[in-house]
């Protein structure tokens, strides 16, 4: 399981992390209302949410419209800088290779995620990009915060999707 590197870790506050992860989960719960997978992200700096989003791949028909990328784009606009230092990104699902690449490029120093993604996770599941020594930026990673809740959201969403699909085929 990913954890923070004590040499580079920002001060940790589990209650604060849980508070912001709960906000991300609330945002993720909104996604199915518009047919999106319940994955969300928040970027927090100095205790304030700079940006938040859930996936919009279906809505925008854009394979890059992952919550993490939407949040990074919005936070860069809000802060007028692509360098999102001194911040923490909260994501309900382990980022994929595209998203962790963007996190590294944005210089986000800390990532907290919920559920592991055994199909596309790049922070310890199928790949582990953050500790790659050849990268020019390190991301401290904490995985598994509110994992059960995040996993349940995803499972419920896909269960309902399969049920709807089966009913359409039979009816």
Which residue numbers are catalytic? 68
Binding positions: 66, 96, 99
Binding positions for Zn(2+): 66, 96, 99
> Within the chain, where are the H helices?
14-30, 57-60, 67-79, 97-105, 147-170
- CA 20 to chain centroid, in Å, comes to 12
DSSP code of 128? B
**C-alpha distances out from residue 90 to 105, 113, 142, Å:** 17, 6, 10
């Amino acid at each position: 399981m990913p954890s923070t590197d004590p040499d580079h870790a920002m001060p940790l506050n589990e209650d604060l992390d849980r508070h912001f992860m709960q906000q991300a989960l609330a945002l993720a719960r909104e996604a199915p209302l518009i047919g999106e997978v319940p994955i969300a992200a928040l970027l927090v700096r100095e205790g304030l949410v700079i940006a938040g989003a859930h996936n919009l791949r279906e809505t925008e028909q854009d394979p890059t419209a992952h919550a993490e990328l939407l949040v990074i784009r919005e936070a860069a606009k809000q802060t007028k800088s692509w360098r999102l230092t001194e911040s923490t990104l909260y994501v309900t699902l382990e980022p994929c290779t595209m998203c962790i690449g963007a996190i590294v490029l944005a210089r986000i120093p800390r990532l907290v995620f919920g559920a592991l993604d055994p199909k596309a996770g790049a922070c310890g599941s199928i790949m582990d990009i953050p500790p790659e020594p050849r990268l020019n930026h390190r991301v401290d990673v904490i995985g598994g915060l509110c994992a059960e809740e995040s996993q349940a959201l995803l499972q419920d969403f896909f269960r309902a999707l399969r049920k709807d699909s089966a009913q359409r085929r039979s009816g």
